[in-house]
């Protein structure tokens, strides 16, 4: 088997890259370890920056998003018993779209199918070869047979736990990490969202987030211990804890009902500065992780794919290798700024068990400043709607 770009990982990064390359006449094969149902069963964040929306439209997968997505011109911060709205539209002239990552992934699969794209599911034992020469290849097992895919380039889009990053020799990898001393317990319920916009709440018991997927499907999170077992959280306990963290008027308005999904996610910041090894290029969660506060994971992956697809298209179009050579540096400048924002939003909104009384007062003062200064709110808003590419 031979293709131009071998893409390891059929999550949003890999599929979007495959789709953008296809539209530029460049072939690719996507190798995904899991089944399609499994990939589509993962529930992830659901806020798209306008740059991500534009990229999805450019990839030819924006039609359902534009029809079903919810345009949000603002969100609220709740603290000290009140709420404060961050008016994204007034502060930046831009907005975000609430549309679940699962839906984005579904649309990408549908587009790959419609264009006859090759996505192999259930691949095992992916191994990369000859990355530093000009004829790399990927070997794997698929449907009981050993296969070899010859290619020009390999895109490592296999998420945080995938194998491609490990193909970069350890001495060349520069990794930076912060693991937060808490997680998020999230539920999905077929209830009306408590508000028409998102609410990020901070409280002595910990952070809470009221989000949504559509007008009859709510997504709520509460800060919990990193090793929390979701089975210890019957629905009633979850709703009580959420209500306690919300201002009284919202707590009263909260519609509760049975959860249809419940899971705990750890919070981590991580960057692998080395995003290239010879003809291997990393993108998305394979190269970096942000904590979910601010919903940057998918948006950051989309920005990587924008840079990487442009660089590959330039190489195939004119033979110009400069954009590929500059890919990591270009992507990392934006990655670090988005890492900073996600870390900052996490640090002002959560209860850190190890914070000193002084640090707690600093946190309170920061929130107070944020809700009183239009300069501070603008800084928050411009990061939330997304930094330019
Ligand atoms: N072989 C093939 N595929 C693999 C392997 C492997 N050995 N290991 C992992 N994968 C697949 C996973 O099953 C997954 O479908 O790679 C895919 C990676 O997808 P994601 O983890 O969704 O990462 P990415 O596509 O970069 O998307 C980034 O997803 O994780 C969220 O917060 C993140 O929203 C962001 C977005
Ligand atoms: C979500 O809807 O799942 C969501 C929204 C905003 C976030 C994180 C997650 O910051």
Active-site residue among 99, 180, 316, 384? 384
- Give pLDDT, residue 123: 98
d(CA 185, CA 265): 7
Q: Which of ligand 1's atoms lies nearest the C-alpha of 163? A: 7
Pocket test for ligand 2, best of 49, 200, 211 (most atoms within 8 A of CB): 211
* Ligand 1 neighbour 9 (Cβ under 6 A): yes
CATH 3.50.50.60 correct for 5-71+92-177+268-345: yes
Q: Which residues pair with 31 in a beta bridge?
A: 8, 120
List the alpha helices (DSSP H) in the chain: 12-23, 36-41, 50-58, 63-68, 88-92, 101-114, 235-245, 248-253, 297-318, 322-349, 357-370, 374-385
d(CA 59, CA 47): 18
Q: Phi first, then psi: what are they for 320, rounded to 5°?
A: -75, 115
Query: What is the architecture of the domain spanning 181-267+352-385?
Result: 2-Layer Sandwich (3.30)
Is 203 tagged catalytic? no
- Give pLDDT, residue 176: 98
* Ligand 1 neighbour 206 (Cβ under 6 A): no
- Give pLDDT, residue 166: 97
Nearest bound ligand to the CA of residue 29: 1
CA 353 to chain centre: 26
d(CA 123, CA 147): 10
DSSP structure class, residue 2: B
The two structure tokens encoding residue 34: 């899991």
Q: Encode pLDDT of 63-97 as tens digits.
A: 999 999 999 999 999 998 999 999 999 999 999 99
Is 384 tagged catalytic? yes
Q: Which of ligand 2's atoms lies nearest the C-alpha of 45? A: 3
* Ligand 1 neighbour 17 (Cβ under 6 A): no
Q: Which residues pair with 289 in a beta bridge?
A: 270
- Give pLDDT, residue 43: 81
- Give pLDDT, residue 42: 84
Active-site residue among 79, 277, 288, 296? 296
Is 200 tagged catalytic? yes
Domain ranges of the chain: 5-71+92-177+268-345, 181-267+352-385
* Cα–ligand 1 centroid distance for 286 (angstroms): 7
Q: What is the pTM of this model?
A: 0.97
* Cα–ligand 1 centroid distance for 130 (angstroms): 23
Q: How many CA atoms lie within 13 A of 238 on its CB side?
A: 30
3-state secondary structure of 225: coil
Is 277 tagged catalytic? no
- Which residue ranges in the chain fall short of pLDDT 50? none
């Amino acid at each position: 088997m031979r293709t131009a770009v071998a893409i390891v990982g059929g999550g949003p990064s890999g599929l979007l890259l495959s789709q953008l390359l296809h539209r530029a006449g460049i072939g690719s094969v996507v190798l995904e370890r899991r089944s399609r149902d499994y990939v589509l069963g993962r529930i992830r964040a659901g806020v798209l920056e306008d740059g991500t929306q534009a990229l999805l439209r450019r990839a030819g997968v924006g039609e359902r998003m534009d029809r079903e997505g919810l345009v949000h011109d603002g969100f609220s911060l709740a603290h000290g018993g009140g709420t404060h709205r961050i008016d994204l539209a007034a502060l930046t002239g831009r907005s975000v779209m609430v549309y679940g990552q699962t839906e984005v992934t579904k649309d990408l699969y549908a587009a790959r199918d419609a264009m006859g794209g090759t996505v192999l599911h259930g691949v095992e034992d992916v191994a990369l070869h000859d990355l530093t020469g000009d004829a790399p290849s990927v070997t794997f097992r698929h449907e009981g047979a050993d296969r070899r895919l010859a290619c020009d380039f390999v895109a490592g889009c296999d998420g945080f736990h995938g194998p491609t990053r490990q193909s970069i020799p350890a001495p060349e990898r520069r990794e930076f990490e912060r693991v937060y001393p808490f997680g998020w317990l999230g539920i999905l319920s077929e209830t009306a969202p408590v508000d028409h916009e998102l609410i990020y709440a901070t409280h002595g018991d910990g952070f809470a987030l009221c989000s949504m997927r559509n007008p009859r499907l709510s997504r709520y999170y509460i800060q919990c211990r990193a090793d929390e077992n979701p089975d210890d959280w019957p629905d009633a306990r979850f709703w009580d804890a959420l209500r306690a963290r919300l201002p009284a008027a919202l707590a009263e308005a909260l519609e509760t009902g049975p959860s249809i999904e419940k899971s705990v996610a750890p919070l981590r910041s991580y960057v692998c500065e080395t995003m290239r090894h010879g003809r291997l290029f990393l993108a998305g969660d394979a190269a970096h992780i942000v904590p979910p506060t601010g919903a940057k994971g998918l948006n950051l992956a989309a920005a990587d794919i924008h840079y990487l697809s442009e660089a590959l298209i330039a190489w195939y179009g004119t033979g110009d290798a400069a954009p590929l050579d500059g890919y990591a540096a270009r992507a990392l400048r934006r990655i670090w700024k988005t890492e900073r924002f996600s870390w900052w939003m996490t640090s002002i909104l959560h209860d850190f068990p190890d914070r000193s009384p002084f640090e707690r007062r600093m946190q309170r003062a920061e929130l107070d400043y944020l809700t009183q200064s239009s300069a501070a709110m603008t800084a928050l808003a411009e990061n939330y709607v997304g930094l330019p590419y």
